Amino acid sequence: MLAERAEPLAGTRILVTRPAHQAQALCELIRRDGGEALALPVIEIAPPVDAQLAAQRVASVHEFDVAVFVSPNAVRSVHALMGDRPWPARTRIAAVGRGSSDALEQCGLRADIQPAGEFNSEGLLAEGALRDVQGLRVLIFRGDGGREHLTDTLRARGAKVCHAEVYRRALPEGAAATLARVAAGPALDAIIVTSNQGLQHLYAMAGETWRPWLREQQLVVISTRAAALARELGFQQVARVAPAASDAGLMEVLRQQFARQVDGRI
Decide yes or no: CATH 3.40.50.10090 for domain 13-43+173-263.
Answer: yes
How far apart CA 183 and CA 9 sit, in angstroms, is 20
Helix (H, G, I), strand (E, B), or coil: what is residue 44? strand
For the ranges 38-47, 112-121, 244-253, the lowest mean pLDDT is seen at 112-121
Q: Does residue 31 register a pLDDT over 50?
A: yes
User: Band of the pLDDT at 5, cuts 50, 70, 90?
Assistant: low
Mean pLDDT of 203-207: 96
User: Band of the pLDDT at 22, cuts 50, 70, 90?
Assistant: confident
Domain locations along the chain? 13-43+173-263, 46-169
CATH of domain 46-169: 3.40.50.10090
Over residues 87-127, the pLDDT tens digits come to 999 999 999 988 899 999 999 999 999 998 777 888 899 99
Q: What is the pLDDT of residue 261?
A: 60
Over residues 182-196, the pLDDT tens digits come to 999 999 999 999 999
Please determine whether the domains at 13-43+173-263 and 46-169 fall in the same fold group of CATH.
yes
For β-strands 44-46 and 190-192, DSSP reports them as: unpaired
User: What DSSP assignment string belongs to 179-218?
Assistant: HHHHHHSSPPSEEE--SHHHHHHHHHHHHHHHHHHHHTSP
